[in-house]
Chains A and B, each alone.
Chain A
Amino acid sequence: MKVTITVNGKTHESEVEPRTLLVQYVRDTLGLTGTNIGCDTSSCGACSLHVNGESVKSCTMLAAQADGCEVTTIEGLAKDGVMHPMQTAFMENHGLQCGYCTPGMVMASISLLKENPNPTEEEVRIGLEGNLCRCTGYHNIVKSVLAAAQAK
């Protein structure tokens, strides 16, 4: 089937299998491998990206469902070589180690602050419950998100 999806500002018309997940479309069809796959039960959030400005686990959505949508992946966040404040906050607060959960974590965190611009530490922790990280113990991820909220 044919889908028309705008990804990081560029519109793509693609032929996909009806069962193609949005994450497969982004990675395999468009070659945008910044979005990672960490599980098969929609538990880990490594594949989080934005659909029409809202964080979505892209393994829970079919490419067909994104037909006509605006999608942003980690590759689309920095503008003219300048990182998004959330990316900067992760860098400055050592919010990443192996980097595998990072793109999804950054995308989910941006969405979290959009919904709740001044969260408490507990609200950040609960807000990121669906994004798993095995390296950081979450300490510096939470710190990064709180720092990004402050930076606004």
Chain B
Amino acid sequence: MGGSILGNRVLRKEDPKFLTTGGKYVDDLLDEPLLQNAAHVTYARSSVAHGRILSIDTSDAASMPGIIAVFTGADLGLEPKPSAFNPMATRTLLAMDKVRYVGEPLAIIVSETREQGEDASEAIIVDYDILESLIDVEQAMASTTLIYDACGSNVVFDTTALGVPENTGDNYFAGCEVVVKGRYINQRVAPCPLEVRGAAAAWGPDGRLTQWLSTQHAQGAPEPIAAANGVDVAQVHVKTPDVGGGFGAKIGTYPEDLLLGVVAKRVGRPVRWRETRSESMVGLGHGRAQLQYITIGGSRDGKVTHYQLHAFQDSGAWVDMGTILAPFMTRPMSSGVYAILNIECRTTSVVTNTTPTVAYRGAGRPEATAAIERAMDMFAAEIGKDAAEVRRLNLIPKFMEPHTTAIGGTYDVGNYEESLNRALEASDYAGWRKKQAERRANNASKQLGIGVSVYVEITGGVGTGESAKVEVIEDGSARIYTGTSPHGQGHDTSWSMLASEQTGIPMDKIELIWGDTDLVPVGTGTMGSRSLQQGGNAVYSVAGTLAEKAKSVAARLLEANEADIVLDKDKGIFHVAGTPAVSKTWADLAIAEKATGGLVHSDVIGVAGPTFPFGAHVGIVEVDIETGKVTHIAHYACDDAGTVLNPMLLEGQIHGGVAQGAAQALLEEVRYDDDGNPITSNLADYAFISAAEMPSVTVIHMETPTPNNLIGAKGIGESGTIGSTPALQSAVIDAVSHLGVRHIDMPTTAERVWSAIQQAC
């Protein structure tokens, strides 16, 4: 008898393909019949950050070799459309009246080869009336120059407009013995999936538009694509090939995606588009970009009683998803894991002349966690206590029923002190403190820094359930249709494990279908760490119902009572209890049901609510105090994601998350010069973290199941990032705190660390 496959370290079914032929990404669809004779699309982009467009001259470009057509917004008759988050902000998909950031698309070149298109894009001449470039949120709020005139302000979203009162200011802390203030920058970073954006579009003989898209959410795409093409949504078929990473930045559609069908129709040919990395660094949405003003207050014995946060979210040059992450993701999580009785949090989102911001791994929660964790460190430093112990003193005690914080966040289950204990123990926190003391006593040039974070985040906050369909075909194999959209997470393996558990059909006889809006019309995609707890949960439920349905078919075929039928999951056969010699296979049942619609079950399975994974990280760094160079030498991560389906995949998510958190804490930042020119717009200039800058990560397991879904799972995609970033920033500051340094903004580059040491000495 085999046990349950769930909870096992099952190797990935999808790997042999990726390892032997490589994936089939959107730029690899060479054999696709609808894309034969496809032309290439290249976008010409703004080279200035803010300016009125006086003229766009495409005549030279249009006459270059291999150029099929060149289109501006005027040529295509584009109309301004409002943002979903602030209807006063409107833009055309190609810039027409003005440009608002370097990289904004303003013309389309259609060419025989990609190289010809790139050559021609250089020959498009744009005359601008340059306007003041607003690169920083405070500069943008203070300026009379407006990025969207109709908004009347560069502030495009504020929690006060939602009825949330303004923060009350310093009076709030009147009764506190200890009050600490800070101004912290949660810097702008680039998501950098290894595969940049790409798409292809073809109009079929049936008059429908097929669009291939490198996306995290195919089902979200038909509507905007239909609108851009002026057709009914039923006329649009979106297909998702393999996707080379997304990290939040491929959730939505971009102007470059939406215009491909329009162009394909104009030139009467299918078209392909794939940006270059240098385009991607300014065209794909950026993440984070939050300026935080923090005040924390409490008693000298370490109890925090008051906390106030005003977060200024840089929206970039469009009112995109980044705008709403501060009010709807950062604010509800601002209390973190702490029982703070008095909290105020206001958020203000501001447009600037920079690349629009979108969701990026964590999307609003890393910012909330970084703010409260930095505040806790500052508070601990002020009262001269150990930062881990001050945290412990303020943690919300273990709860197995929903807990609501003072700011109004309601968490499912939590056991924060246990995660802190496990992380401190596994890391030998006391041992590291001892080593640190020795190096300090010896005035060593390389000092140790130890950073601790304790966090809680929200996952599955997007969507209230997910679709699943499971069908068994006549050869006894199964197909799963899921509304989630894997791009590295391993859904083929995980969803097969769940369906196999319920049906006894072997994993290698289960095929996963996703991201095709004809085959899977309903789906919320993969984002916000929702996939397993909603999509996997739905597969588990639907496969279970299908197995029950199958019993009634087996009963009919075996001329027995349905109640007497058992499914032997080890063999994948149905028989009457006690008489296994006479049985029916899944194939038998599928053949029997073929005439009446097949052996299939389909449903949308809801969940009780989002879940709140939590944990604690300990990051260890070595800082060369003569040069400021930081080396990340060890990392311990205790992340509680509820019931674990496949520990191997869970660990992979944690490892990747920790690396992206380390990248933000230590290395990466998107920078602009004063005129709004990006100065990190390729992978040679942007400090993308590499293997040489990471240690191996120690994963510490902890499982507190959530009651909110059938399988007890919470999300794990983003936890590693949320926990590691503040732990590492804290570790760097800790390494030089004995020299008088209290704060260093991220990324803690050698230059910043060295400067902080010089200023403190």
A residues near B (Cβ < 8 Å) are: 17, 19, 31, 33-44, 46, 74-75, 77-78, 83, 87, 90-92, 94, 96-103, 106, 121, 124-126, 128-143
Q: In the complex, which of the residues A41, A74, A124, A126 has the most CB atoms of chain B within 10 Å of its own CB atom?
A: A41
A40 touches B278 (CB 8 A): yes
The yes or no answer to B649 lying at the interface (CB within 8 A) is yes
Contacts known (A90-B15, A91-B11); A33 close to B193, Cβ less than 8 A: no
A132 touches B652 (CB 8 A): no
> Which residues on A sit within 8 Å (CB–CB) of B658?
137
Cβ contacts A to B, 29 pairs, < 8 Å: A33-B24, A38-B195, A38-B683, A41-B684, A43-B682, A97-B488, A97-B490, A98-B245, A99-B23, A102-B19, A121-B696, A125-B694, A126-B691, A128-B690, A128-B692, A129-B690, A129-B692, A132-B688, A133-B691, A134-B193, A134-B660, A137-B656, A137-B657, A137-B697, A138-B655, A139-B651, A139-B694, A140-B652, A141-B691
Q: What is the CB-to-nearest-CB distance from A8 to chain B, in angstroms, rounded to a whole number? A: 11
The yes or no answer to B20 lying at the interface (CB within 8 A) is yes
Contacts known (A94-B649, A99-B244, A100-B245); A142 close to B22, Cβ less than 8 A: no
Contacts known (A39-B277, A125-B692, A135-B488); A94 close to B652, Cβ less than 8 A: yes
> Which residues on A sit within 8 Å (CB–CB) of B682?
39-41, 43
* Bound Cα distance A31, B196 (Å): 20
- Residue on B with the closest CB to A73? B22
B12 touches A94 (CB 8 A): yes
- Residue on B with the closest CB to A138? B691
Please report the number of residue pairs spanning A and B whose Cβ atoms sit closer than 8 angstroms. Answer: 182
The 9 A-B pairs of least Cβ separation, nearest first, read A34-B22, A100-B244, A137-B659, A98-B488, A99-B18, A97-B488, A137-B655, A43-B683, A33-B28
A87 touches B20 (CB 8 A): yes
* Bound Cα distance A124, B690 (Å): 12
Q: What is the CB-to-nearest-CB distance from B22 to chain A, in angstroms, rounded to a whole number? A: 3
Give chain B interface residues in 165-197, CB to chain A under 8 Å: 191-196
Give chain B interface residues in 265-279, CB to chain A under 8 Å: 276-278
* Bound Cα distance A39, B697 (Å): 27
> Which residues on B sit within 8 Å (CB–CB) of A31?
30
* Bound Cα distance A17, B115 (Å): 11
> Which residues on A sit within 8 Å (CB–CB) of B115?
17, 19
The yes or no answer to B25 lying at the interface (CB within 8 A) is yes
> Which residues on B sit within 8 Å (CB–CB) of A98?
23, 193-195, 242-245, 487-488
B22 touches A36 (CB 8 A): yes
Give 1 or 0 for each of B621-635: 1 = CB within 8 Å of chain A CB: 000000000000000
B656 touches A136 (CB 8 A): yes
A103 touches B22 (CB 8 A): yes
* Bound Cα distance A143, B195 (Å): 23
Q: In the complex, which of the residues A17, A19, A40, A134 has the most CB atoms of chain B within 10 Å of its own CB atom?
A: A134
* Bound Cα distance A102, B168 (Å): 52
* Bound Cα distance A137, B691 (Å): 7
* Bound Cα distance A31, B22 (Å): 12
A90 touches B19 (CB 8 A): yes
B194 touches A101 (CB 8 A): yes
> Which residues on A sit within 8 Å (CB–CB) of B244?
36, 98-100
A99 touches B242 (CB 8 A): yes
- Residue on A with the closest CB to B24? A33
B194 touches A140 (CB 8 A): no
B488 touches A74 (CB 8 A): no
* Bound Cα distance A135, B25 (Å): 16
The yes or no answer to B231 lying at the interface (CB within 8 A) is no
B22 touches A124 (CB 8 A): no
